[in-house]
A and B are shown apart, each in its own frame.
Chain A
């Protein structure tokens, strides 16, 4: 059974903390993504990566960075967490074949207090 696993379901962090969200996939997919999901705003792409050590900004990269040192792992970093980064964060992976779907993790609900 294919899997995308996010390290935490729920996180509570303080303003100004450095936060790491980890995502691991076991499907040998080239492409990985981080989205945030907020009520009424749908899914918004933060960053994606199409290969190890490669990254591209999505629609809302400000305040975030990413790391992909190994093919199976894609980390989202909040350098200095702020309350407006309270959200649901979703990781996804996708193979290179055009006809295939993306697989999602279960989501991390982050609260910044």
Chain B
């Protein structure tokens, strides 16, 4: 079945540092890929998505590129802020499925 593996946290950074969170997946066909963010005490909200190979999703300074050859969708941000402290989830929606498969989540803490 479909699966998503993302790096475990917590990841602790200083403000203005570069952030990367690795995400790899296993799926048949051509899934759609998503990054969600969860701020403390809240539900998940979509950060960005990519629906086909080589697509780049971007939002709020975050980027991720759908790499079919490496089955990856790594999240990056060039200069993080304290307000980026959150839990980040990588997810896929399979070609045949009507549900999302999530990675385990990565907690990011940005210190001033």
Contact = CB atoms under 8 A, between A and B. Distances in A.
A112 B94 CA distance: 35
Interface of A: 4, 30-31, 33, 41-43, 45, 48, 50, 90, 92, 94, 96, 98-99, 101-107
A101 B45 CA distance: 10
Contacts of B46: 101, 103
A45 B105 CA distance: 14
A90 B99 contact: no
A99 B32 contact: yes
A30 B97 CA distance: 13
A90 B98 contact: no
Chain B contact-residue range equals: 20 to 34
A96 B42 contact: no
Query: Which 9 A-B pairs have CB atoms at the shortest separation, nearest pair first?
Result: A104-B43, A42-B104, A99-B51, A104-B44, A106-B43, A107-B43, A101-B46, A43-B102, A42-B105
Given A90-B44, A99-B32, 10 more contacts: A4-B43, A42-B103, A48-B99, A92-B44, A94-B99, A98-B95, A101-B46, A101-B93, A104-B45, A107-B41
B98 A43 contact: no
Interface of B: 32, 34, 36, 41-46, 49, 51, 89, 91, 93, 95, 98-100, 102-105
A103 B42 CA distance: 13
Contacts of A106: 42-43
A40 to B, nearest CB: 8
A60 to B, nearest CB: 14
B99 A43 contact: no
